[in-house]
Amino acid sequence: MKLEARIEDSATARGVVSAARSVVARYPQSAAAAEVLAQAELQAKNYAEASAAADKVLAIEPKSPKALVYKGRAELELAKKSPQSANWSAIRGWFSKANHLDPSAPQPLMYYYDTFVDQG
C-alpha cells in the first residue's frame, strides 16, 4: 500500500489542496478524488479538513486502507494539541482497521505504535 508522494513546501501543498478541492467539488462521489484531497490536506497541515476528506472517502468506499490511515493520521495530529483529552482508542482504531484490510502494509502499524509515543 504505497500511500503518497511527499509535498515538501507549503506553497506547493496549498496549490495541490486548492486543485484537489476543485476536483472534489466537480466529482463529489469520487473516492479517488477525495483520497487525493485527504492526502493533500494532511501535507498542508489542515488536519480537520484532512479528517473530513477521509470521511468522504470512507462514506463512498468504507474499506479503503488509505482513507483509514489518512483519517487516523489527521486525528493523531489533532490529538497532539491536547493529548490528555484525546480519544486514543479511537485513533488507534483507524490504524487497526487499515492493518486488518492490508496486513502487509507497514504504515498502519507504524502509526499505531506512534500513538503510544504521542500519548506520552
Range of the domain at 14: 10-119
Distance CA 94, CA 110 (A): 12
pLDDT digits (tens, 9 = 90+) for 52-106: 999 999 999 999 999 999 999 999 999 999 999 999 999 999 999 999 999 999 9
Whether residue 85 is contained in a domain is answered as: yes
| Tally of domains in the chain | 1
What is the CATH classification number for the domain harbouring 35? 1.25.40.10
Whether residue 39 is contained in a domain is answered as: yes
Whether residue 42 is contained in a domain is answered as: yes
Whether residue 5 is contained in a domain is answered as: no
First vs last Cα of the chain: how many Å apart?
Answer: 28
Whether residue 1 is contained in a domain is answered as: no
Distance CA 96, CA 103 (A): 10
Whether residue 3 is contained in a domain is answered as: no
Looking at residue 2, what is its pLDDT?
45
